[in-house]
Amino acid sequence: MLWLTGNHEEQQVEPAAEPVAQASPASEPNSGARGVPKNGTLDPISIDPKRTTDILPQYQADTLVDDYQEDAGAADDRYRGKYFIVEGVASGVRREANDSVFLDIRSNSPALVVRAKLLPIQICGPAGRTCEVEARGTMVRRGQKVAVECTGAGQVDGSPVLEGCLVRGGAN
């Protein structure tokens, strides 16, 4: 038998731990620093410090494409002019002839993508650190999960179009 110093003394019982306090306000989705992941994900609030901290609606790219294919008028009513988050898988980043940069997001329809027109200045890190769209575009890889926050702008050739887009975390 192994004998350690102090074994002959009575064991002292440690007092029970204090109950954990309720979650602090900083853990709520619409408080704290924007663009800082909590538990590996960003809260569904805008990473743009110029916008409110209201919770944004979130949609999958497939949902937008399906809605526009089923009823373009109803989809326009639901998305056009509204600010929301779209999630999906990157198909690629492309520069158009007019110097606009688009992030294409795959859908369940091989011929259609969601086209997100990126803002020239992107938020590239916590606390609102900014960078040029080209620098942000190089952080996105084909096949990578992405999320953008944008304003719905209708559809072109059957593909939903988004404008004024910021690439959210996950592409860093």
Does 157 reside within a domain? yes
CB 126 within 8 A of CB 74: no
Kindly tell me if the per-residue pLDDT of 166 is higher than 80.
Answer: yes
Does 145 reside within a domain? yes
Does 155 reside within a domain? yes
Q: Tens digit of pLDDT for each residue in 27-65?
A: 445 455 666 666 666 778 888 888 888 899 999 999 999
Closest CA to 131 of 116, 139, 141, 121: 121
Does 50 reside within a domain? no
CA max distance for the chain: 84
Domain limits for position 157: 55-167
Counted domains in the chain:
1
> Residue 130 sits in a domain of what CATH number?
2.40.50.140
Element (H, E) at 60: strand 58-60
Q: At 98, list the tokens.
A: 């007019």
Instruction: Look at residue 1 in the predicted model and tell me its pLDDT.
Output: 44
Q: At 122, list the tokens.
A: 């992107």
Q: Tens digit of pLDDT for each residue in 78-88?
A: 999 999 999 99
